């Protein structure tokens, strides 16, 4: 998917919200499913886009009603 600015990114994310607490915890709201899961990389389906979270010792603490709570040493976030 080709992005040409913030407007398209906002449209692709729809109702999704991302809360980042330092580099230790991230909460993603309106997540469809977990696409890939390892201690170094977690990929979440947000609808039109996926969110790749890279880090160390990543753990999905919960996945309830589309809310995903991930903790660990977060190094990077990338929309793919």
| Mean pLDDT of the residues in the chain | 85
% the chain with pLDDT above 70: 81
Residues 34-53 pLDDT 10s: 999 999 999 999 988 899 99
pLDDT for residue 50: 93
pTM strictly above 0.85: no
By DSSP bridging, strand 25-29 and strand 17-21 are antiparallel
pLDDT for residue 65: 86
Given a contact cutoff of 8 angstroms between Cβ atoms, the answer to whether 73 and 23 are in contact is yes
pLDDT for residue 17: 87
């Amino acid at each position: 998917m080709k992005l040409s600015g913030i407007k398209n990114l906002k449209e692709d994310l729809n109702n999704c919200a991302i809360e980042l607490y330092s580099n230790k915890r991230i909460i993603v709201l309106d997540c469809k499913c977990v696409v890939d899961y390892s201690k170094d990389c977690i990929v979440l389906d947000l609808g039109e886009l996926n969110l790749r979270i890279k880090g160390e010792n990543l753990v999905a603490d919960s996945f309830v009603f589309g809310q995903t709570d991930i903790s660990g040493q977060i190094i990077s976030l990338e929309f793919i």
